[in-house]
Amino acid sequence: MPARFAAAVRLARPLNCAMSASAVLLGAWTVTWQVPAAVLCSCIACAVLLTAGGNALNDYADAVIDRLNHPERPIPSGQIPRRAAWFLAAAELALGLVAGLVISLGCGSIAFLAVVLLIAYEKAGLKSSGLPGNITISALTAMLFVMGGAAAHDPVRPASLAALAFIATLAREIIKDVEDVGGDISRRTWPMRVGLKRARIAAAFLLTLAVILSPWPYFSGVLGIGYLAMIAVADMAFAWTAVVLFRPPRRASRAAKLAMLAVLGAILIGLPT
């Protein structure tokens, strides 16, 4: 694999792309298993391209900051030119929008809103605004489930999944800002504004809220008993994240991502047959 191509793949963050693809698929399957293969492929393409484009745009904008926080990433490590990352981001976002429009006007509208939010996050000051930027990223994550439902002609059914995704992602975004507070030199994040202690308490509250609300998809009839059994594993991971958040060295961001992977597994197991 050529070095430049490998760097482009790393720029996309394959695990994030896989989680996004899983979210739209699970959102669709909560409505029905009878979703045409072409629609599912377009859902995957849309989610992966928008996620990859957003990540590339983020790394392009954060090139200076990443020299301190993430020097191993493709741009600060010199594996891919910063300008090339910008062109790659633009191409991926455009193709992701097209993939959404191929599915339906509804999915295309959601994809268009996602592109607008991603650009606004980087270029209109949302990233540097602190909490509003965190909320934007969380909303983008929640929209993946809604898009999947829209592809299956019912964007409302996966609403409980979208709400839980929003809460868990918001907690993780705050945690990431807490962990990066020493290297954020070009923006004033929410932990910088309110203090690390308050930010950690807020993140722990959100994680606790996610645990409390986690049975919601089962009791609302969206998911089956398998979800209820498996979600207990994710809840333990979220609880552990809340504990680790207050202990150095900080590993809460990684723990939160693992917990979110467990949630995706719980949703898959609990899908209606």
Q: What is the pLDDT of residues 123-168, one digit of tens each?
A: 877 888 889 999 999 999 999 999 999 999 999 999 999 999 999 9
The mean pLDDT value for 18-43 works out to 96
Q: Nearest 5°: CA angle at 17, between 142 and 75?
A: 115
Could you tell me if 178 and 141 lie in one domain?
no
pLDDT (tens digit per residue) in 208-259: 999 999 999 999 999 999 999 999 999 999 998 888 888 764 678 888 888 9
CA distance 263 to 234: 6
Same domain, 218 and 141: no
- What's the CATH number where 97 sits? 1.10.357.140
The pLDDT value recorded for residue 248 is 63
Taking the alpha carbons of 57, 46, 220, 259 in that order, is the dihedral positive or negative? negative
Do 110 and 198 fall within a single domain? no
134 shares its domain with 192: no
Listed residues 150, 181, 198: the one ending a domain: 150
> Average pLDDT of 108-118?
97
Residue 220: predicted pLDDT: 95
Q: Which of 127, 150, 173 is the last residue of a domain?
A: 150
Give pLDDT, residue 140.
97
- Same domain for 172 and 269? yes
d(CA 75, CA 49): 19
State the pLDDT at residue 273.
79
Predicted local distance difference test score (pLDDT) of residue 182: 67
Q: In the predicted model, what is the mean pLDDT of residues 86-106?
A: 97
pLDDT at res. 100: 98
251 in the same domain as 195:
yes
- Confidence check: pLDDT of 45 > 90: yes
- Provide, rounded to the nearest whole percent, the portion of the chain with pLDDT above 70: 96
- Residue finishing a domain among 150, 182, 211: 150
Same domain, 142 and 183: no
Which contiguous run of DSSP H or E holds residue 181? none
**138 and 16 housed in the same domain:** yes
**Total number of residues shown for the chain:** 273
Q: What is the mean pLDDT of residues 46-63?
A: 95
Q: What is the mean pLDDT of residues 91-106?
A: 97
Question: According to the model, what pLDDT value does residue 181 have?
Answer: 77
> Measuring CA to CA, which residue among 66, 261, 44 is closest to residue 10?
66
Mean pLDDT (whole number) for 37-44: 97
Q: 76 with 66: CB under 8 angstroms?
A: yes
Q: What is the pLDDT of residues 66-80, one digit of tens each?
A: 887 788 899 998 899
Q: Are residues 138 and 45 located together in one domain of the fold?
A: yes
Report the alpha-carbon distance of residue 120 to residue 221 in Å, rounded.
36
Count of domains in the chain? 2
In single-letter form, the type of residue at position 79 comes to Q
* Domain ranges, residue 181: 158-273
Alpha helices in the chain (DSSP H): 3-12, 14-29, 37-61, 63-69, 82-103, 105-123, 131-151, 159-179, 190-194, 196-213, 216-219, 225-244, 252-270
- Give the list of residues 6+ apart from residue 37 with CB closer than 8 angstroms, or none: none
pLDDT value at residue 251: 72
Domain co-membership, 31 together with 102:
yes
- What per-residue confidence (pLDDT) applies to 132? 93
State residue 211's pLDDT score. Answer: 95
Please indicate, yes or no, whether residues 103 and 121 belong to a single structural domain of this protein: yes
Contact 27, 149 (CB under 8 A): yes
Query: What are the residues whose beta carbons fall under 8 Å from the beta carbon of 137, sequence distance 6 or more?
Result: 121, 169, 173
Task: Please indicate, yes or no, whether residues 272 and 173 belong to a single structural domain of this protein.
Answer: yes
